[in-house]
Amino acid sequence: MQFDKPFGEMLTIVDPKEDDFDKWLQVPSAPYLERLDAMCAQWGDRLGVRFYDFWGKPFDAALVGQLPNVRNLSVDSLWEARNLDAIARLEHLSKLHLGVFNLDDKTILGKLPIARLSELILSETNTKALDLAPLANAAKLRRLYLAGHHKNIASLTALDRLQEFTFNAKKGLDLSFINGMANLRALKFNLGGTASIADIQLPKLEDIAFTMVRNLVELGDMQRFPSLRRLFMQDQQQLESARFGPGNTNLEHLWFYNCQKLDRVEGLADCNSLKSLRWIFTDRDPASLKLPKSLTHLHVLSGKRGAEAAEKAKIEAMGYVAGDHGDAWFFYK
């Protein structure tokens, strides 16, 4: 359920099948919110309630007090907001997306029900000083997404139950705090400028992803992730090599897209669970690759105009499916 403009006595219900705005249904706000709150109580976190845009006007978060049973709340894509501490009084809240660009209160996380949350998204703001220290108390947190926030990020090492972490690591950031996330299953680097992840060791990690990470030049030996199932790498312009081996007993899918300097992917033949390899924009001849018998899907293309059909035909002649495996894509899941 989404609301994109300030509330009055009446609400307009958008009808996507009706182009005439004047024909859209008008309903009283108060009873509508009461009904929505009852739905939140019934459906739990399966029902998301979102307040966004508000036509560039400040959002008064006191409004959420009329939804005491909301479990899944998004207050995002907003220029300004006030009374955000009203969110702390939502006793049933378990999922929160907070995205207010002009966020004046740098300590707001200490005023929110962090200890009750299982999922948290913090969108980009105009300040780099948002204090992450209160997140050390988020003992129930399972999924965390940070966009551009790093102050006291080392506090996150206490999140030993976290299962999915997405963030943009700025250049020079010490990533050793991630090693405290002992139960992490998915680690996703989105933008940022980290040069190396060689110091990260996560025995339970299953998925790792990199999208447009500037300066990334070193992965280290990926056998230090024995549970790794999938690697997703897109738009990496500095990375030249990746190394896997017999220690990657669970590795099933490798995805490389637009990694212009990547010319060596070592140890593939020793990855006996590998099912698919996607490598787009490469000059490597698929026939030159040493691949395991477990591989079924091979999608290795040069990206040159007019060459795709012939390249796929060659792969199919080798006995592989010249396309992507359905389980290989995971970045936005």
Domain that holds residue 25: 1-92
Q: Is 166 within a domain? A: no
Residue 127 clears pLDDT 70, i.e. is over it = yes
Neighbours of 279 (CB within 10 A): 21
Q: Which string of DSSP letters, residue by residue, matches 49-88?
A: EEEE-GGGSPEEGGGGGG-TT-SEEEEEEES-EE-GGGGG
Q: Is 39 within a domain? A: yes
Range 251-263 average pLDDT? 95
For residue range 185-244, list pLDDT tens digits in order: 999 999 999 999 999 999 999 999 999 998 999 999 999 999 999 999 999 999 999 999
Q: Is 136 within a domain? A: no
> Which H helix or E strand runs over 298?
strand 297-301
Range 113-120 average pLDDT? 96
Q: Is 76 within a domain? A: yes
Instruction: Place 25 in a pLDDT band, splitting at 50, 70 and 90.
Output: confident
pTM value?
A: 0.90
Q: How many domains does the chain have?
A: 1
What is residue 57's predicted lDDT score, i.e. its pLDDT?
86
From the CA atom positions of the chain, what is the Rg in Å?
23
Interatomic CA distance for residues 69 and 218, integer angstroms:
47
Q: Is 26 within a domain? A: yes
Q: Is 72 within a domain? A: yes
Q: Is 41 within a domain? A: yes
Does residue 208 contact residue 185 with C-beta atoms inside 8 Å? no
Q: Is 242 within a domain? A: no
Taking CA atoms, 316 is separated from 38, 281, 296, 310, 312, in Å, by 55, 18, 10, 10, 6
Residue 179's contacts (CB-CB under 8 Å, 6 or more residues apart) are 157, 199, 200, 201, 202
Residue 333 clears pLDDT 90, i.e. is over it = no
